[in-house]
Amino acid sequence: MQLRYAYRLDPTPGQRVALARAFGCARVVFNDGLRARRDAHAAGLPYICDGELSKRVITEAKKTPERVWLCEVSAVVLQQALADLNAAYRNFFASLGGKRKGPKVAAPCFRSRKDNRQAIRFSKNARFAITPGGKLRLPKIGDVAVRWSRSLPAEPSSVTVVKDAAGRYFASFVVQVGEQFLPPVEDEAGIDLGLSHFAVLSDGRKIDSPRFLRRAEKKLKRLQRALASKQPGSNNRDKARLAVARQHAKVTDARREFHHQLSTKLIRENQAIYVEDLAVKGLARTRLAKSVHDAGWSSFLGMLEYKARLYGRSVHRIDRWFPSSKLCSDRGTARQSMPLDVREWACPCGAVHDRDANAAKNILAAGRAERLNASHISGRDGASRPGGGQVRPPHQVAQPVEAGSHRGAA
């Protein structure tokens, strides 16, 4: 499988200028190609093929006085920018034709020099290299210093140089990695994700939610007020914007590190992990939106799935409408309703359940049953998901005490 390894770069002032030039040229080629295809569509002309478009916006454009400065950057950078445009159009057409699963994909849009993320990509044809001194040699840019946090497991097939909103530079290498099977273990875990606790395991363990964004809100508010008071277009406003972006980057990095550590720990300890197929986009439209985004459930589940595939483990998602919170994990009896403010409840059989711990136990039992019955299919990422289930349950009256959920939801 292919993995990305990202490292921080420390370019010199001259190299920053060269990178800015490369970002700008790649953006211009992308926009020129998009404009050519839009003009052809508006004029009723046939779709411009990839080869013809490359000839127009790169080869012939370099010969004109308006685009002669495209020769100052590596040709591979321009070709990869055009490849991104072609891929965007293919995804758009596949989405229109119903061949692409998931939400509908919009048509490609123009790139701006004010975008939060600027990126260029070098393939093997660009002949980028890692020098004996540990620097990254990029054509027409030079040898850029790299902060090597760990060594690459294999020779990279491509490298993407990224500049984020906080002004930091990164090199993202694509590396082909073989599966690294861990010794098999007997333990399995069901996980109930939440907000008061980030995760509750079927063995009773509770992982507190760090709430990185909530903890940084006080400083972010102060920085945002300072940004709002600066005059648009001034250097002080640029400095204030950079300060806000750096604070957001700290929150993102801390959340990602937490997800990595927890997902690695769970994969090492368990042979199989069962989780709910959460409707994160729907939850993010409720009054709990900020807390849902702060938790980052989708990112965490994505890490679990690719690490399970890498290390020979398995991750299974059960039906999102499975009433895990309302079922008694001892007898299987179900309650009619379970408002969110009920954190502990007693079953008629005499058992007293913690809401989240009981849900994790039910998720584990349901996941094992689905796995034995082979009622799920495998996704492209190697994770098993329920097949054929509907996106939402039949229409029912929502409870006033719940944030946009249905009466039958767990």
User: Which stretch, 201-210, 335-344, 366-375, has highest mean pLDDT?
Assistant: 201-210
Could you give the angle at the alpha carbon of 88 between the alpha carbons of 106 and 305, nearest 5°?
Answer: 90
Of 370, 204, 206, which Cα lies nearest the Cα of 274? 370
Place of tokens 């420390």: 10
Does residue 402 carry a pLDDT above 80? no
Task: Print burial letters for 153-182: b (CB count within 10 Å at least 16), e (below 16).
Answer: eeebebbbbbbbbbeebbbbbebeeeeeee
130-154: per-residue pLDDT in tens?
999 999 999 999 999 999 999 999 9
4-34: per-residue pLDDT in tens?
999 999 999 999 999 999 999 999 999 999 9
Does residue 336 carry a pLDDT above 80? no
Confidence of residue 352 (pLDDT cuts 50, 70, 90): confident
Catalytic one of 32, 188, 276, 305 = 276
Structure tokens at 177: 């990695």
Of residues 89 and 285, more confidence is placed in 89
Distance between CA 372 and CA 159 in Å, rounded?
Answer: 42
Of 35, 19, 208, which Cα lies nearest the Cα of 109? 35
Using an 8 Å Cβ cutoff, are 335 and 348 in contact? no
356 is catalytic: yes
276 is catalytic: yes
Catalytic one of 192, 294, 319, 370 = 192
| SS3 call for 376 | strand
294 is catalytic: no
Mean pLDDT of 152-160: 94
Catalytic one of 188, 294, 356, 370 = 356
pLDDT cut 90: percent of the chain above it: 70
The CA-to-CA distance between both ends of the chain, in Å, stands at: 35
